[in-house]
Structure formats: C-alpha cells, structure tokens
Amino acid sequence: MARPMANRNYYDVIIAGAGPSGMTAALSCARRGLTVLLADRNSQVGRKLLVTGNGRCNLTNTLQEPACYRSDNPDLAWARVRTFPAGDTMGFLKDLGIYLTDRDGYVYPYSGQAATVREAFERALDREPGIRVLTETRLVDMKAVHSEPVKKYPDRKTGPDRPVRFQLILEEDHEPAGKAGKRKKEEPRKKKERQSYYCGCLLLATGGLAGEKFGCQGDGYRFAVATGHKLVRRLPALTALKTSAPFVKRISGVRCPAQIEALTEGVLLARETGELQWTDYGISGVAVFQLSRHVILALEDQKKVEVRINFLPGMDRPDLMDLLYRLGGAFGKECLQDVFSGIFPSKLAQVLVRETRCDGNMAIDDLAAGDWDRICRAVLAFPLKISGYLGFEKAQTTRGGVLLTDLTDRLESRKTEGLFFAGELVDVDGTCGGYNLQWAFSSGHLAARGIINKMLP
C-alpha cells in the first residue's frame, strides 16, 4: 500500500508487523500525533486475519475470565488484558466502522467475513496522515543507538525533543510468505533493497510461529534474544492431535459431541467438552484444540498421552444402561448394533461395537455383567493413544514467547529502553473463542499507551 507521506528515515515509532496488534498500536499512536512507520512482510496488512474463525473472524468474547489466557505468568497476562478488556475492543472496532454481532458471547463481524475486518483496518490506516505503511518490507536488523549524537540524523523532522533510540534495517521482501527457501531454480530472485531508518520507539509485533504462510517465521524472537530477553519455551497451541489407531481412517469425517479427558500416565491433564471431529490422522475440533496445549507439552517431555472420550457427555453407567434398555425396545430384544446405530453416526457405531468386543447381534437383555463393563468403557471412556500433533503450520497460535516479567505493565522491555512487544510474540496464548485476537488488541493498545507516554511526556 503506497502512502503519500514524504519519504524520510526518522519516525517517532516504527512497528514491525501489521497484524492486529501492530495495526491497533499504529492507529492509537498516530491519533495522539506520533509519526508511525508500519512495516509488514506481506503484500497487504492484516493478512492472517483473513483465515481467522474459518474466514469469519471471531474477534473477541464477552465472557472473559483469567483461565482464558495462558502464560508462564497467568496473573500478569490477565492484568494486562484487563487494562483493555473486551468492551473496549468492541468500541474500538465499531469506531473503525465494523458492525459486530454477538453469538452466545462470541463476537464476530456482522458481515460474517474476516475480509471486511482486514479492509476496515486498511482504510483506517489510510485515513491517518501520520502513518506510513510499507508492505513487502521486512525488519532484518536493529540496534540501539541512543548513545550516539542526535545530529547524525539530519532529516529528523519531529522536533528536537524527540529521542532517537534505534537504527533499523528494513528490506524489501518480495519472497511470498511461506515460500522462503522453496524457490525453484529457474525463478529469478528479485533484487532486495535495504534501507536504514531511525526511531524513538520500536514495537515488535511480528507474531509467533503459527501460520508461516502468513509471514510468521519467528523473526521477533531473534530480536528479543539479541536485546537480552528470555523466551518461554515455544510450542504449537490450538491444534489437532494424531493417533496411530488404524480405525480412524474408517471414521474420518464423522463429527459428534464428546467430553474428552487427556491423561498422562494415569494423571488427568485437562478435560473439555464440545464437538469432536475425526480425521484420517486423528482428532480435531474445538475441544481437541483446547486440550492440545497440555497434550503437546507432555508429548514433548517424552510422556505417554491417552485421551478418554465420553460419547454421551454428562452420562454415567446407570444412565447409559437405562438408555440402552429404553432404546432396546420391549424386554430389551433389540441387538446392540441396532441400538448403537440409533444413537451414534453409523461409522462410529460400528467402531464402538467392535471396541466392546461383544457380539453386535446380541440382544441388550442378554448382555452379561462383563459385557456391560466393556460397553460402558467403549461409550463413556473410549481410550485413544495420542502419538503426535499437527505443528505450527496448522496451529492457531504459539504457546510461550517473550517472558512477561521482562516487560513493564505497558509492555516495554526492562532490558532495552524504548523497545516494546505486543501480540503472539509475547508469552500469552488464549483459549479458542476470540481470546487470541483480544490479546492482540489489548497488547497493541497497551504498548501504544507506553509509547505515547515515552514520546510525549
């Protein structure tokens, strides 16, 4: 996106990454009179927004509680979110011209299209004369220069009282995101131009490791480490789980309600209820996404993980026996296979009968106590060994990142003055339901407040 602003190399704030956190911060800073350079590797701002919420963009959630935000420092994460809560996010989005709808607390654009959210941000950025947007432009290097004399930057136009703390190298990045290193030999490499910029504050909002094809390759972590920051171990979160159980190929595509417990060596890790989706590699769906954070950590620590699935959430053994007898017709004469087929999707019913190791043609009334044990286990605690998970390329977010205790309450580095962090790069990941975008909006605003305080004391 070309900007009419005169070309120059000093800005009050330079923001690397035009995701929701970076764009939010840019707008907040510019509205207070700061000059902003917003650079993104992609050819358009807010690229990843397009795929959020299955293309519908679950922007936030009116139900907010500490458990929705996960971190090595969960109290700090929650304290930061509360400074710009869901109500503020909704007000901010409405001011951008985005009409919202609330579905049982889940907030979406009324249009039902994530693209309209991205475009509203793009228009808002365009309207701010203080913002210059550079797309296809990647932050490749940075250094703190605050000790160097100010006269070295002759085109600094903002005023003598504005500090110069960083020198950055931005590079035109024509490499399609996700294709780095995959270019065919015969494809000519476009010449990349590098340019030096200076700024008073630098905001790193380059996202995490989830969604490489949207430009996120973890660049921000490199700069964080180079400026003295510790990183909390980074792993995929909100992703699907794999199993080597061969039957999953037969029921791939089946969806059913379930309560799922994840256990490692007999100890309960977490429990979730929701729609379960069977795939040809394992299990997916919101409940699985929510569990994945706990499961992945255990797998990475070389622990064995099993999930137990209750296909009739809320029911126990007496409830199940009562149900099967009722559906078994007069005197329980219907056979097990037919009764299961009246409850579950047919492919799943076949798998469940097989798991019970009972004769599917046996009448309910003829089942022995041992049969009932196996039936209850199959339906109420179906065991499935988890062998792996889908990685960052499929995950919705990154667990871990820049340690919160290294940042002030306005997300400024405690190691390098004038350096701020926001969004997925920081050690905060939300549960499914709009909480990751809420964190992006909260942290973008918070960092902007810090930058404004720093630049306009």
Which residues would be at the binding site for ligand FAD (CB under 6 A)? Answer: 16-22, 39-42, 47-48, 51-53, 57-58, 138-139, 205-207, 210-211, 214-216, 219, 396-397, 423-424, 434-437, 440
Q: How far is CA 327 from CA 45, 255, 346, in A?
A: 56, 22, 16
Nearer to ligand FAD, 157 or 190 (CB): 190
Distance CA 447, CA 409 (A): 9
* DSSP-derived pairing of the beta strands 194-204 and 419-421: parallel
- Minimum CB separation of residue 7 from ligand FAD in Å reads 18
Distance CA 455, CA 129 (A): 18
Q: How far is CA 132 from CA 33, 441, 446, in A?
A: 13, 20, 21
Q: How far is CA 247 from CA 108, 137, 352, in A?
A: 37, 47, 11
Distance CA 405, CA 415 (A): 11
Distance CA 399, CA 430 (A): 9
Nearer to ligand FAD, 113 or 337 (CB): 113
Do residues 441 and 22 touch, judged by C-beta distance below 8 A?
Answer: no
Nearer to ligand FAD, 348 or 437 (CB): 437
Do residues 141 and 162 touch, judged by C-beta distance below 8 A?
Answer: no
DSSP-based three-state secondary structure for 131: strand
- Minimum CB separation of residue 36 from ligand FAD in Å reads 14
Identify the DSSP state of 413.
B
- Minimum CB separation of residue 385 from ligand FAD in Å reads 27
- Minimum CB separation of residue 187 from ligand FAD in Å reads 21
Distance CA 83, CA 449 (A): 11
What are φ and ψ of residue 327, in 5° steps?
A: -75, -15
Nearer to ligand FAD, 48 or 70 (CB): 48
- Minimum CB separation of residue 139 from ligand FAD in Å reads 4
DSSP-based three-state secondary structure for 83: coil
Do residues 23 and 125 touch, judged by C-beta distance below 8 A?
Answer: yes
Nearer to ligand FAD, 53 or 282 (CB): 53
Q: What amino acid is encoded at 454 in this protein?
A: K
Q: Which of 194, 206, 186 is nearest to 40 (CA)?
A: 206
Nearer to ligand FAD, 19 or 400 (CB): 19
- Minimum CB separation of residue 437 from ligand FAD in Å reads 3
- Minimum CB separation of residue 59 from ligand FAD in Å reads 7
- Minimum CB separation of residue 41 from ligand FAD in Å reads 4
Residue appearing with tokens 């469940």: 352
- Minimum CB separation of residue 136 from ligand FAD in Å reads 9
Hey, which residues does 61 pair with through a beta bridge? Answer: 106
H helices of 2-64, in order, are: 20-31
- Minimum CB separation of residue 80 from ligand FAD in Å reads 14
Distance CA 391, CA 382 (A): 25
Nearer to ligand FAD, 207 or 400 (CB): 207
Nearer to ligand FAD, 22 or 285 (CB): 22
- Minimum CB separation of residue 411 from ligand FAD in Å reads 12
Nearer to ligand FAD, 53 or 200 (CB): 53
What are φ and ψ of residue 220, in 5° steps?
A: -60, -30
DSSP-based three-state secondary structure for 178: coil
DSSP-based three-state secondary structure for 44: coil
Nearer to ligand FAD, 308 or 394 (CB): 394
Q: What's the burial of 160, exposed, middle or buried (CB within 10 Å: 0-12/13-18/19+)?
A: exposed
Nearer to ligand FAD, 350 or 443 (CB): 443
Residue appearing with tokens 């990751």: 436
Nearer to ligand FAD, 40 or 272 (CB): 40
- Minimum CB separation of residue 225 from ligand FAD in Å reads 14
